[in-house]
């Protein structure tokens, strides 16, 4: 009887050890899986997304009409980088995801002077025109619609803007990005003209 007891206890110990090892492996796998997820969250938290417009689009094909959705999405990090993209799909979520991917492919670097832009500029796209002017600290983003979303995502805190042409959200957003793309710092302007910064302001 003693031998049998010893053998059974030995089996129990081995089985417990096996369970402990298995549990240990599982926890290690979970820890290993968490690390990439944390990295992904950090990468995603860098970029902010704003949906400017979602429209239902119909295309006439043989046999009837095909329904799809078009999403206009703006992406920015609030540190001088912003982009706009368009995505089309049969579902809204898929269209937004495609728009985000498209926006990240066409990022624009925006030169900032404190919280505003360095100089006045007029952005144009199609029949849309938008005027951007630097503003004093504390003014805020004086803009509406698509232009406001683009400027906020770019990290511009004080600016004056006025839409002068077509008010289509997509064209206004593209005109705003066009204006931000054309901005130059004082150093770049002086270098392009072949003069010093002192001569530029004199």
* Torsion angle defined by CA atoms of residues 80, 188, 136 and 48, in that order, rounded to the nearest 10 degrees: -10
Q: What is the pLDDT of residues 134-181, one digit of tens each?
A: 999 999 999 988 999 999 999 999 999 999 999 999 999 999 999 999
Domains (range + CATH), the chain: 48-186 (3.30.230.10)
Cα separation, 170 vs 132, whole angstroms: 17
pLDDT in tens, 72-112: 999 999 889 999 999 999 999 999 999 999 999 999 999 99
Is the pLDDT at 21 greater than 70? The verdict is no
State the Cα–Cα distance between residues 161 and 137, nearest whole angstrom: 15
Residue 21 and residue 74: Cα distance in Å, rounded? 49
What is the model's pLDDT at position 43? 52
Phi-psi region at 194: left, alpha or beta (left = phi > 0; alpha = psi -120 to 50):
left
How would you classify residue 173: left for phi > 0, otherwise alpha for psi between -120 and 50, otherwise beta?
alpha
């Amino acid at each position: 009887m003693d031998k049998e007891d010893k053998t059974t206890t030995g089996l129990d110990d081995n089985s417990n050890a096996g369970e402990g090892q298995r549990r240990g492996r599982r926890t290690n796998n979970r820890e290993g899986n968490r690390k990439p997820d944390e990295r992904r969250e950090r990468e995603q938290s860098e970029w902010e997304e704003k949906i400017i417009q979602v429209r239902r689009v119909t295309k006439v094909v043989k046999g009837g009409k095909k329904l799809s959705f078009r999403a206009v999405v703006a992406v920015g990090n609030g540190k001088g980088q912003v982009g706009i993209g368009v995505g089309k799909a049969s579902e809204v979520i898929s269209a937004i995801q495609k728009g985000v991917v498209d926006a990240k492919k066409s990022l624009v670097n925006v030169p900032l002077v404190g919280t505003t832009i360095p100089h006045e500029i007029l952005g144009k796209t199609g029949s849309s025109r938008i005027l951007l002017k630097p503003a004093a600290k504390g003014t805020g983003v004086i803009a509406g619609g698509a232009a406001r979303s683009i400027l906020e995502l770019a990290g511009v805190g004080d600016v004056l803007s006025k839409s002068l042409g077509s008010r289509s959200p997509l064209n206004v957003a593209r005109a705003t990005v066009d204006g931000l793309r054309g901005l130059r710092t004082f150093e770049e302007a002086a270098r392009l003209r072949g003069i010093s910064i002192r001569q530029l302001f004199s």
